[in-house]
Amino acid sequence: MMSSNSLFQRLAKWCPWLLRDEPKKPVKVLVTGAAGQIGYAIVAMIAKGLMLGADQPVVLHLLDLPVAANALNGVRMELIDAALPLLRGVVATSDEAEAFKGVNVAILIGGWPRRDGMERKDLISKNVTIYKSQASALQQHAAPNCKVLVVANPANTNALVLKEFAPAIPAKNITCLTRLDHNRALGQVAEKLNVHVGDVKNAIIWGNHSSTQFPDASHATVSTDRGERPVRELIADEIWLREEFVTDVQQRGAAVIKARKQSSSLSAASAACDHMRDWILGTPKGTWVSMGVYSDGSYGVPEGVFFSFPVTCEKGEWSVVQGLEIDDFARSKMETSATELKEEKSIAYEFL
């Protein structure tokens, strides 16, 4: 017969909050564009602990446009129907002040989508308006140390607009999503080598979340029976690493749209959870991840833009990995993406 202590330990494995003397206070998490596909996918992930941990209660704040109010209410109802133990409340609204009030984490998915025939300048213009408004709400209503992840494209430049118009939020607390591209890079290497993706680490996405990004596997490693081995050594195909691999990661989103007739949703939601989890709870020792952050000039990248770097995270803070060797090929790719970001910045500033 199982002892009561053994039973408690088994329960605690699945319900770690049982081991705490005092339960954690709920974290308020905002998701904008919550009635959309990525929003619909991510809210359950957050409420099940995939973002902040299996012992962290959450209150979800869901924001979408008034035209999506009925769909947003449907999302709210489904969250209640799921009977999720970590979910301590749901606020579903089209009012930015209400949505941003007191939030500790903000996942900004809502934005103006790019449509056929739309010029990049027009896309940036539409999103500048949206993100100026959200920056004001963030500045006035969010918790002072709120951590922000921008998902909506153009993500890097949307993050820059937030930084400019929400000065009360530290620049280090505003980031943009390149973890989806990072995860895609890990997946491509794993498929090429026929290994488990969990055995691959330390790929890098440099630059913009766009087709100019540079997926870099030159520092990546794979865990094998003989220890960690460099990806470049295991693949030993420089043409694949510089051409097919780079193109496949850059164009993966377009390939998903072609196959599915809709943009990536599940993988984007999962990547956003990965991004926030590692940022808040920390990266494993010896592992880095890719995050779009405000450049401090590392690796010769211009300051004043949001650029994807390899980072490690500890105690809720990220740090750019320093001292990696950058060859001429990588440098040229990074410069191309940096140039695009400076162009986007110039366009955005026309509308600020």
Q: How confident is the model at residue 4 (pLDDT cuts 50, 70, 90)?
A: low
The pLDDT, as a whole number, for residue 266 is 96
Burial code of 30-56, b = ≥16 C-beta within 10 A, e = fewer?
Answer: bbbbbbbbbbbbbbbebbbbbbbbebb
Catalytic (active site) residue 209: yes
Domains by residue range for the chain, with CATH: 22-175 (3.40.50.720), 177-348 (3.90.110.10)
pLDDT at 23: 80
Question: Token match 């133990």: residue?
Answer: 85
Annotated binding-site residue? 35: yes
- Which has more confidence, 115 or 183? 183
- The secondary structure element, H or E, covering residue 130 is helix 120-141
Residue 336 in this model has a pLDDT that exceeds 80 = yes
Q: In the prediction, which pLDDT does 151 show?
A: 98
Query: Does residue 56 have a known ligand-binding role?
Result: no
Q: What is the model's pTM?
A: 0.92
Q: Is the pLDDT of residue 115 over 90?
A: no
pLDDT number for residue 73: 98
pLDDT in tens, 261-274: 888 999 999 999 99
Structure tokens at 153: 């494209």
Is 260 annotated in a binding site? The answer is no
**Catalytic pick from 61, 182, 209, 219?**
209
Q: Say what the pLDDT of residue 121 is.
A: 85
Q: How far apart are CA 40 and CA 55, in angstroms?
A: 22
Provide the 3-class DSSP secondary structure of residue 31. Answer: strand
Residue 56: C-alpha distances to residues 23, 62, 204, 346 (Å):
8, 18, 29, 41
Q: What is the DSSP letter of 109?
A: -
Q: Is 110 annotated as a binding residue?
A: no
Residues with Cβ within 8 Å of 216's Cβ and at least 6 positions away in sequence, in order, are 203, 204, 205, 206, 330, 333
**Alpha carbon distance 37, 120 (integer Å):** 23
